[in-house]
Amino acid sequence: MASHKPEGTSSYHARDLLNQLAEKLALAGISSPRLDANQILQMALSRDETILSHHEIILDTASQKRLDDLMAQRLAGCPVSRLRGYREFYSMNFFLNKDTLDPRPDSEVLVEKAIAAIQDKAFEIADFGTGSGCLLLATLAHCQNAKGIGLDISDTAIEQARKNAAHHRLEDRAQFLASDWDKALAGDRQFDVILSNPPYIPEEDKAHLSPEVTIYDPSRALFAGKTGLDAYQILLPIIAKRLKAGGASFVEIGKDQESDVISIASTVGLRCENMVPDLSGIIRCLHFIHD
């Protein structure tokens, strides 16, 4: 006996539907059309698991509308992470809002190096420009004896970072403060490890960035003056002041900025111990110690 299909529903082979969605995304110039199609269909169906090609997909009126709305937003440039409200970073989910930068895989090199430096030590960590809290929280999740504080000028970002800390049950070891750089800290407060992913994109590069970045990421977390170095002029003296003797700082940089950032650091007594490439081989993380 044939199964009864409720009125107003449509049935698809998953392979066919995913191919249709991926083709539309590819034509719009989206670089990961197949992956995005699968994730969008998961959201439309309220599923957590990957849609396999042999699945039968039943779309009722509500799920079809969700699918159409999600596709329209993605085709207009909204990243999948913004559609679903979170991004996976260092195998952890971090929820986002309008004032948090969407974490990128390249930033994971900072966490990797920080974990290696801390291991099981009872270190104190500071994260300047914490945003979603991803750098600090991912590090703390792998360093059980460490604790830290994340600072960000945005109250909205700090609110989200606190929620992420609670989500990962790290609120007992992670504190978050709204602060213009280090102004909320006591004058003599120092840390064993300092992390930061500051804004570093030159203003003139804005025209060359995708709408996924310029529309959906907060501008003040991206752009840093004409050369992209303005934030480092503020941040590096703070690191020199706040880093304990024998401590380590891991700072993210943009492509080909290593020479300029190292030069700024040298003027405040910081020495680059190591330059770490990202997944593409671009120098992405500078490891600083006191000279």
* 3 within some domain: no
Any domain includes 5: no
Q: Which of 54-58, 66-70, 128-132, 239-243 has the lowest mean pLDDT?
A: 54-58
- DSSP letters for 154-211: -HHHHHHHHHHHHHTT-TTTEEEEE-STTTTS-TT--EEEEEE----B-GGGGGGS-H
Could you tell me if 46 and 67 lie in one domain? yes
H-type alpha helices, the chain: 14-27, 33-45, 61-75, 80-84, 108-118, 134-141, 155-167, 211-214, 230-242, 258-266
- What pLDDT, in 10s, does the model give residues 35-90? 999 999 999 999 988 888 888 898 999 999 999 999 999 999 999 999 999 999 99
Identify the pLDDT of residue 7: 54
Q: Do 52 and 17 sit in the same domain of this protein?
A: yes
Do 45 and 126 have their domain in common? no
Q: State which H helix or E strand residue 149 sits in.
A: strand 147-152
Say how many domains are in the chain: 2
- Identify the domain boundary among 27, 47, 76: 76
- The residue among 86, 83, 90 whose CA lies nearest residue 102 is 86
